[in-house]
Structure 1
Amino acid sequence: MTTTPVAATPTTRAAVPVPAPARAGGILAIILVGYFMVILDNSIVITGLPHIRTELGLTSGGLAWVQDAYLLTFGGLLLLGARAGDILGRRRMFVTGLVVFSLASVVVGLAPTGGWLIGARAVQGLGAAVLAPSTLALLTASFPEGPARTRATSAYGAVAGIGASVGLVAGGLLADLVSWRAGFLVNLPIGVVMLVAGLRVLPETPRTPGRFDVPGALLATLGPTALVYGFVRAGEAGWADAGTLAPLAGGVALLGALVAVERRAAQPVMPLTLFASRERAGAYLARLLFIGAMMGFFLFTSQYLQDDRGFSALAAGVAYFPMTVVNFVVALAVPRLQRRTSGPALLVAGLAFAVVGTGWLGLVDAGTSYAAGIALPMMLIGAGQGLAFGPLTASGIAGVEPSLAGAASGVVNSVHQLGGALGMSLVLALTGTYAAAMTAGAVLLLAALVAAVLLVLPSARRSSGA
């Protein structure tokens, strides 16, 4: 995560005072619950998709956009959200993001049509784009480098992994017993409690004078959106279709323009110096591939269990329980394991577990039992998530100067969301069966493992003098 005592503000500014232990516990609880809400809404919709399809009459492409609309605005505007925290104050942005996210959740829960639902999901992603980077920046500003930071970032990383699994179980439970809408409406009371607690407990960080890089933020959103549209179109019309090739080419051009704009921008939302560190660059790439594979895993496994195995939405959600338990136990053990070995070494081990688990799921057929052929590989994936998420977050902000802490946290979270949208859409375009989708996910995870071994692990060893 960083090398200096922590304030995610310029060195010329006064650092935020380190809170007393009791107050630090309250700060961490608010940060984790806020981030948990954001991550939860990535996955709580997945087990309810069959209900949404039936109730609102959405096509397969429409269902994909229910998820992608959230992920793309979330990931694309995160960089601007992180910059807003630097300029306007991170507590202020935490509160603003929480309000937008909670109100948009209500609109999602009350949506009368698919268009309303997709539009509200996009606004919900906007709220998350402001809220999420504020959580990590507040964590960085509130906990000094050392054991306290390690414990806090491990908990933060655990939320990233566990939130997705809990969302699947909660989404299935609510879809079957109440309504898929309930999973979004419950965000309002939680948001109100968080708002009151945040205003009382969270410290405000010093403001940094500066400008908003709107062109950079728009390009960071439009480029991935064009690519996702191309991937979704490829799944429907094929890779040779002009409607597929045009957005794919446009997406690449927009991302190239993003790099050009950021090179010239006086205060870029995505400072290219963040990618100068091989450890950070490797962590960003590994996270992009890892989350892409995981979102594909969650989406396709849920649909496979319900459509091919006849599970109810609740049963499909509960089917993830073995993975969730293992994920939780392993994530709690990460701080102790890091006293014996390095975070990057745990990252490599976690990715290896995930490769094996996802590849194993690629072998399923009609005769495969749930216990031996699905639950066991899910447990390996859970172990991989538990080991990988904390170190991925740590390496993603390792060695960052205080003045760039907000931007670095924005890149970590942006990669997380955009990786989910891009990976899920790519797997959807390349595969036709569940086994093929899992095999494609294993390939993405293997690429993430290679990135971790070649970039993250050696860089971390050099910085530690090993």
Structure 2
Amino acid sequence: MSTVTTTQLSHESIDLRDVRNEFPLETERQNQSDGPTASKARQATTTFQLSGLNFLSSAVNGIILVSLPTLVAELNLPEQLHVWPISVYGLAVGSTILPVGSLADAAGSRIVDLVGCFSMALLLLASGFVKSGEQLVAYRALQGVAMSMHLASSVSLVTQSIPKGRARNVAFSCLGLSQPLGFSVGLVLGGVLVDTVGWRVGFYLTGGLSLLLSFVGLWALPKSRDRRTASEVVHELKRKMDWVGSLLASAFMVCLSYFLAIVSSDIGSVSHRDSIATLCAAGFALPAFVAWVHRQTRLGKPALIPNSIWRNTAFSSVCATMLLSFAVLKSMEQYCSLFFQEVQGLSATETSTRLLPSLVVGIILNFTTGLFVHKVSARWLVAGSSIVCAGGPVLMALAKPEWPYWYSAFFAQLLQPISGDILFTVGLIIVSEAFPEDTQALAGAVFNAASQFGTSLGLAIMQVVAGVVTNQAAARETPIDALLLGYRASFWAMTGFMVLCFALGHVGLHKTGKVGNKKDD
């Protein structure tokens, strides 16, 4: 009697065979290997190692965000680069993760992940010794490339080492929560470090722990059963990699992310020639990518992401809702921090303690989502968590500076992480089942690209909304009141995002039942 995992559907099945037929080269060895056979201890260590790197990289983002004013002053960072220590990281991840995912499937997820982990650790340690803001921006860009190697490989490594069912659901849950959880811890830790020993210690600490986890990965991460020589790997790269598709996808992500970063820092730059040229380049790269993968599929050649996969409504919907949910999650973290510091005048440490409730809720969700995800319809998990999470920005939009923390902001922090944490687990299960076993790294890359792009898009849109409203109110309001109006406008925009996320989840997943179920045949 064999054990399998199925996705139960309430009305009709999502037949993924047609989608998998679009990966003719990737499915050749799919049935040649047995399922994962790693011991439970190694499975747990693998999950811990992969989630730990996610946690630490996100913690760095939180540390940088809360210490940005101090960091900018100490490193004399030029005004046009003030937000780049944060934004360039997401830009680098988003622009490289798709080709890196395809590379991991061809060359092996283990080697790609380990290269990314060790590179990330060394770059974090080096960042603690920077002498200028430009050096930090450069290191942050390289960290983004290294992290894309880890993120793209993580899903594949989980599916290689952990069998389908509850254990894999919990592993996906840990991968999902580790990012927002790490960011929240980074905000708290960054506030303490800025007020005590300094922000550089944050890089030393996260870099050292990342290096330790990288060595753990040498033992824990599953080794490929497909023994190949270097020449065979090179041949596989030539045969399986869609190099043109990877280039077009990266060009689109780079141009669009760069455009959003420029516009978010200065809304007036939208009419500049370089901004228009960047947007036009993105507008050319997207249809060119669609046309190219259509050609590749028609000729039976490798296609990075076949167009047919987007006809899977569950897959398309979960990518869209993931984008919106992470756009709100990261924006809430940033603008709640700004509300506490810039409007209420609290210190970095006081701000950090007010963000702790979201950390506690995140920990609880980490231990529970993977356990109950297979018992509740994916439609109601996604839609329900989205509409509940929408209450967070509503409470912050209504909050008054003179109100005690417990009136409104506290409850907003409790609601903030619900959608992103639940959706990440549900989404990873759906996405991993939509791709063949030999393309799980690409599956992880697609999913993480949605979350990374959502983060960049959300922060850019909210910064534009807040900036426009603040500038309009500056003539008639005090500086603090003008800031408050801008922040409130961004919170209302976040509410709209979550309502849209609810609608997409409710409609797009209406035929999807429970996911991640394990049953015996």
Question: 1:404 aligns to what?
Answer: 439
**1:266-323 deviation line (CA, Å, top 9, x unaligned):** 3233343442321111111111111112222222222222222222222222211011
Contact 2:374 2:516 in 1 (8 A): no
1:377 aligns with 2:451: no
- Percent of residue pairs identical: 23
1:234 aligns with 2:253: no
Question: 2:56 aligns to what?
Answer: 37
Q: Residue 153 of structure 2 is aligned with which of 134, 145, 149? A: 134
Matches within 5 A, 1:67-146: 67-146=86-165
Question: 1:294 aligns to what?
Answer: 329
CA distance in 1, matches of 2:505, 2:80: 33
Question: 2:254 aligns to what?
Answer: 225
**1:196-238 deviation line (CA, Å, top 9, x unaligned):** 2211222212457243334433333332332333334434243
Q: Which amino acid aligns with 2:256?
A: L
Question: 1:390 aligns to what?
Answer: 425
Gaps of 5+ in 1: none
Question: 2:495 aligns to what?
Answer: 442
Q: Residue 285 of structure 2 is aligned with which of 254, 260, 283? A: 254
Structure 1 pair 60–425 and aligned structure 2 pair: CA distance change class (3 A)? farther
Contact 1:262 1:268 in 2 (8 A): yes
Question: 1:173 aligns to what?
Answer: 192
CA distance in 2, matches of 1:186, 1:460: 43
**1:14-55 deviation line (CA, Å, top 9, x unaligned):** 246421222222222222212222333333321111112222
CA distance in 1, matches of 2:70, 2:55: 24
Offset of residue 2 of structure 1 = 7.5
Offset of residue 3 of structure 1 = 5.1
**More deviation, 311-320/330-339:** 330-339
SS at match of 2:511: helix
SS at match of 1:368: coil
SS at match of 1:376: helix
Equivalent residues, number: 462
1:420 aligns with 2:439: no
CA distance in 2, matches of 1:45, 1:2: 41
CA distance in 1, matches of 2:516, 2:214: 40
1:330 aligns with 2:359: no
Question: 2:511 aligns to what?
Answer: 458
Q: Which amino acid aligns with 1:107?
A: A
Contact 1:323 1:378 in 2 (8 A): yes
Q: Supply the RMSD in Å over aligned alpha carbons.
A: 2.7
Gaps of 5+ in 2: 8-25, 227-232, 468-485
SS at match of 1:58: coil
Q: Which amino acid aligns with 1:168?
A: L
1:216 aligns with 2:228: no
CA distance in 2, matches of 1:365, 1:228: 34
Structure 1 pair 338–192 and aligned structure 2 pair: CA distance change class (3 A)? closer
SS at match of 1:203: coil
Structure 1 pair 49–379 and aligned structure 2 pair: CA distance change class (3 A)? same
Offset of residue 463 of structure 1 = 11
SS at match of 2:369: helix
**1:147-172 deviation line (CA, Å, top 9, x unaligned):** 22222222222223322222211222
Contact 1:105 1:185 in 2 (8 A): yes
Offset of residue 127 of structure 1 = 0.3
Structure 1 pair 181–100 and aligned structure 2 pair: CA distance change class (3 A)? same
Question: 1:264 aligns to what?
Answer: 295
Please say which structure displays the higher CA radius of gyration.
2
Contact 1:16 1:205 in 2 (8 A): no
Structure 1 pair 129–340 and aligned structure 2 pair: CA distance change class (3 A)? closer
Q: Which amino acid aligns with 2:292?
A: V
CA distance in 2, matches of 1:25, 1:33: 12
Q: Residue 157 of structure 1 is aligned with which of 152, 176, 186? A: 176
